[in-house]
Amino acid sequence: MKRNHHLKELIENIKKTDEMISLHRTNNTLSIMVDQYEALKAKQISELIDGLAMPPYQSIESISVIKHILNKFYPNIPEGLVKQKELKELEDTI
C-alpha cells in the first residue's frame, strides 16, 4: 500500500512537470529550462517504470500500465530517435 501511494505521487509529480514544460514552451523561455524539466520528467518516468517492473506489480498488467504511461507522457516519440550505441543495438535486436 505504501509503495502504491509513492507511485501515485510520482504520477502527480510527472503531471506537474509536464505542465511546467508546456508553460515554458508557451512562454518561449530559454530552452535550457525546458531541457531541465524534460530531464526531470525522464527521471521521474524511469523511477515509475522501475517501480512497476518489480514485484509485486511485475506482470503483464504492469506492462500494460507502463505502455499507458509512455503513450500518455510521450505520445509523439519520433522514429530514429535512438542514437546511443548500446540502446541502438537493443532497438535493432527488437
Mean pLDDT per 10-residue segment, the chain (94 residues): 90 96 86 94 97 92 95 90 92 91
Q: What is the pLDDT of residue 72?
A: 95
CA 16 to chain centre: 13
What is the Cα Rg of the chain in Å?
A: 15
Q: How far apart are the first and last CA of the chain?
A: 35
Q: What is the pLDDT of residue 10?
A: 96
* Domain extent listing, the chain: 2-93
